[in-house]
């Protein structure tokens, strides 16, 4: 029975139809497909490009504009580099001019101070002949002044040391000492200059034949109130001062 049914299904009218298809090699299929793909790609690209042109975008003009922008950027970069170099040069020149101006201002200030000292010295020398007639000591302290300096606690002492006429055949060598009498926190204090510092002591050495102008600065604590300053001048090899002079703070 099974065999009979199988034969009826295969050879009866209701059996499945057979279709005969020709065999096409794969290289022929690719030979046909590749040109079609290329044509379709070209059509798609043409449609895309036409759509851009219809929208107002032109690829050639955009490329030219982009090239122009690159050239402008390159030109601006070069110009910026040149301007930066010139600015740096101007800045260096301005710094040099500023330094030169500061130097000139300092020179003018120093010359003004020197002019004041020269005027004081001139005044001293104009009165020197009259002064020397009354001087009996071998060494004299003239024009002694103690004044405030620019900063709190800083002072300067000015004077002129003069040898008598009979002593001017030899140079005076020695040192000077400042004794500052002051008040600090309601108590009297005495401060001596120079201190034990070797460099400070060298600043108080004296060596002159006729006269020596002294302009010596000193510094104390800002809370110290100076009453007067005593100047002691010692000749080399002696322990007793050769001359003593005092002055109050101006």
Would residue 13 count as lying in a domain?
Answer: no
Instruction: Give me the domain span that covers residue 207.
Output: 137-248
The answer to whether the CB of 190 falls within 8 A of the CB of 225 is no
Would residue 82 count as lying in a domain?
Answer: no
* pTM for the predicted model, two decimal places: 0.49
Would residue 99 count as lying in a domain?
Answer: no
Would residue 40 count as lying in a domain?
Answer: no
Q: Residues 22-41: pLDDT tens digits? A: 666 776 777 777 777 877 77
Would residue 46 count as lying in a domain?
Answer: no
The answer to whether the CB of 206 falls within 8 A of the CB of 193 is no
Query: Closest Cα to residue 112, out of 104, 124, 100, 102?
Result: 104
What domain count does the chain have?
1
CA angle 155, 160, 163 (to 5 degrees): 150
CATH number for the domain that contains residue 147: 2.60.40.10
> Cα(190)–Cα(179) distance, rounded to whole angstroms?
7
Average confidence (pLDDT) per 10 residues, the chain, 250 residues: 58 54 67 75 70 59 76 86 86 87 88 81 61 61 88 89 77 92 92 81 87 88 92 91 89
Would residue 168 count as lying in a domain?
Answer: yes
The residues with which 62 forms a beta bridge, in sequence order, are none
Would residue 95 count as lying in a domain?
Answer: no
Q: Beta-carbon neighbour count of residue 112 at 10 Å? A: 10
Would residue 102 count as lying in a domain?
Answer: no
Query: Closest Cα to residue 172, out of 138, 209, 205?
Result: 209
């Amino acid at each position: 029975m099974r065999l009979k049914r199988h034969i009826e299904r295969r050879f009866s009218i209701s059996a499945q139809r057979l279709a005969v298809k020709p065999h096409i090699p794969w290289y022929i299929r690719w030979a046909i497909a590749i040109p079609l793909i290329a044509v379709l790609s070209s059509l798609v690209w043409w449609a895309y490009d036409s759509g851009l042109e219809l929208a107002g975008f032109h690829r050639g003009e955009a490329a030219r504009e982009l090239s122009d922008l690159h050239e402008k950027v390159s030109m601006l970069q070069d110009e910026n580099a040149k301007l930066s170099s010139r600015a740096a040069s101007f800045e260096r020149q301005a710094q040099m001019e500023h330094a030169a101006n500061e130097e000139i201002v300092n020179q003018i200030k120093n010359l003004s101070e020197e002019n004041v000292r020269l005027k004081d010295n001139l005044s001293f020398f104009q009165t020197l002949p009259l002064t020397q007639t009354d001087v009996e000591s071998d060494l004299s302290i003239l024009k002694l002044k103690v004044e405030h300096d620019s900063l709190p606690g800083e002072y300067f002492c000015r004077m002129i040391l003069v040898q008598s006429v009979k002593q001017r055949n030899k140079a005076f060598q020695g040192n000077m000492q400042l004794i500052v009498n002051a008040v600090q926190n309601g108590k009297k204090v005495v401060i001596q200059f120079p201190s034990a510092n070797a460099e400070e002591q060298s600043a108080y050495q004296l060596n002159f034949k006729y006269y020596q102008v002294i302009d010596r600065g000193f510094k104390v604590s800002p809370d110290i109130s100076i009453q007067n300053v005593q100047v002691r001048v010692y000749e080399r090899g002696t322990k007793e001062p050769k001359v003593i002079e005092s002055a109050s703070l101006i």
